[in-house]
A and B are shown apart, each in its own frame.
Chain A
Amino acid sequence: MKINLRVWLKIPDAEAVTVKNTLIRRMGYGKALSDLKKERLWSIEVEDVENPDELARKFARQLVNENKEDYIASVDSLVFEEGYVPVKVGLHIEDGEAITTMNQLQNRLGFDMVTGVERSTVWKLYLDSNDSVKLAEEIAERLLINPHKDFYEVL
């Protein structure tokens, strides 16, 4: 069973704004890219539990700072809204933060049922193009990833 937490900032996201500005002002995507937003995605593998929604809320209390962040939890499936192309970016080399988080959940906070933690970023690209997926792939390869440590996936 996999519990997904999609986390985003309620306050202005300076990193997303910087990436958007770079794509538009420096890389020529002004006509195709109308907006860009960012989410952090935690995908937490757990052994089967009776009430996964309650467990997701417990995870969120640890991983989400609700003073500045909001989140959506889902179990197994990961569904995104229409209107943008979601591009997931993560590390294909070892992710120290994910390992630290798993150790924290398992060993410090008593979530014995946790068997794995993945951390990634979802870039939500609002594109006006006949082939939005192809354009999203191009943007990912030109800016969003360094292929020597990152992978991407158009969700």
Chain B
Amino acid sequence: MKIAVIQFPGTNCEYETLVAAKSAGVDGEIFRWNRPAQELCDFDGYVIPGGFSYQDRLRAGAIASKEPVMETLREEAEAGKPIVGICNGFQILVESGLLPGLDGVDAALAQNVMVSKNQIVRRGFYCAWTTLRHDAPPNRCAGTFLIEKGELLPIPLAHAEGNLVTADENLIDRLNEENQVVFRYCDEEGNSTPDYPVNINGSRQNIAGICNPEGNVLGMMPHPERSNFAWQLPAFDPAKKGGLETPGPGRRIFESMKRYIEVKR
């Protein structure tokens, strides 16, 4: 089993992501965007990591979404292989139309707008620990294959444009009905209230991650590779204990991807 971690110019989380995947028992390598795209077919799954592909020129993810590797990834996704897009990877998947994967480009990840008591209290880049609630049924999505519905995962985020917006009034209802909303921002008890700081970037219905209708493509704004080991957790988290190899909550994403590949092979 081998996955490719896609590296575009400006990607900056590829090495941590590869470490996280390997710690979950998945072999892998960093795949530069300018390699022959057909070489991607040799891999069992893909991660598009975070960063600032092409320096976010034009829009976050817009330029990378036009690269030949993305067309090959679309074909591999149609063949059922799993893809996980993290942060900028999520933005690239949305710009390419692979997520939500309904009818072309169905949504956008716009600038963060933090709202509290009907007042905008902050905009733009934000970096913090957040709690994610898994809202999809078990086995719905490749990246959360092993995670139960309602399970809470503390995972950090760092982005300026993670606010899911859409001009399609029915899109969010469709995503909910089809269980394509995989993660929502919530508090430590699992409650998703619409105000900042629980809804940390103003995203519609606190949405932090979605999958395509088939479930093999996941995009999420928070960075699971940054809570892949327990030592990466913040000092206030009681789960921050154990040795250097003790897994953290983010590991579940990579373990899920591994299990999905094993089951679907």
- The answer to the question of B123 belonging to the interface, with a C-beta cut-off of 8 Å to chain A, is yes
Give the secondary structure class of B's interface.
Answer: loop
Q: Which residues of B contact A58 (CB under 8 A)?
A: none
Complex CA gap A38/B68 in Å reads 25
Chain A contacts for B95, CB-based, 8 A: 146
Report the count of interface residues on B (CB-CB < 8 A).
25
CB of B137 to closest CB in A, whole Å = 27
A27, B62: Cα distance in complex, Å: 13
Pair B67/A26 contact, Cβ less than 8 Å: yes
> Using a CB-CB cutoff of 8 Å, which residues 96-120 of chain B contact chain A?
105-108, 110-111, 113, 120
Q: Which residues of B contact A34 (CB under 8 A)?
A: none
Please tell me if the beta carbons of A27 and B66 are within 8 angstroms of each other in the complex. yes
What is the size category of the interface that chain A forms with chain B? 20 to 34
Question: Which chain B residue lies CB-closest to A145?
Answer: B59
The verdict on A144 contacting chain B, using a C-beta distance below 8 Å, is yes
B55 interface hit (Cβ, 8 Å): yes
B166 at the interface (CB under 8 A from A): yes
> How many angstroms between the C-alpha atoms of A91 and B110 in the bound complex?
10
* Interface check B57, CB cutoff 8 A: yes
Are B113 and A143 within 8 A (Cβ)? no
Q: Within the complex, what minimum Cβ distance (angstroms) separates B208 from chain A? A: 18
Check B55–A149 contact: CB distance below 8 A. Answer: no
A15 CB within 8 Å of chain B: yes
Question: Using an 8 Å CB-CB cutoff, how does the interface string of B66-77 with A read, 1 for contact, 0 for none?
Answer: 111000000000
B63 at the interface (CB under 8 A from A): yes
> Which residues of chain B are near A96, meaning CB under 8 Å?
111, 113, 120, 123-124
**B167 close to A (CB within 8 Å):** yes
The residues in B between 8 and 33 inclusive whose CB is less than 8 angstroms from any CB of A are: none
Tell me if B57 and A14 are in contact (CB < 8 A).
yes
A148/B67 in contact, CB under 8 A? no
A→B interface (CB under 8 Å): 14-15, 18-19, 22, 26-27, 91-94, 96, 100, 143-144, 146-150
29 A–B contacts from the bound complex (CB under 8 Å): A14-B57, A15-B57, A15-B58, A18-B57, A18-B58, A19-B63, A26-B66, A26-B67, A27-B66, A91-B110, A92-B167, A93-B165, A94-B113, A96-B120, A96-B123, A96-B124, A143-B58, A143-B66, A146-B95, A147-B167, A148-B105, A148-B106, A148-B108, A148-B110, A148-B168, A149-B108, A149-B110, A149-B165, A150-B108
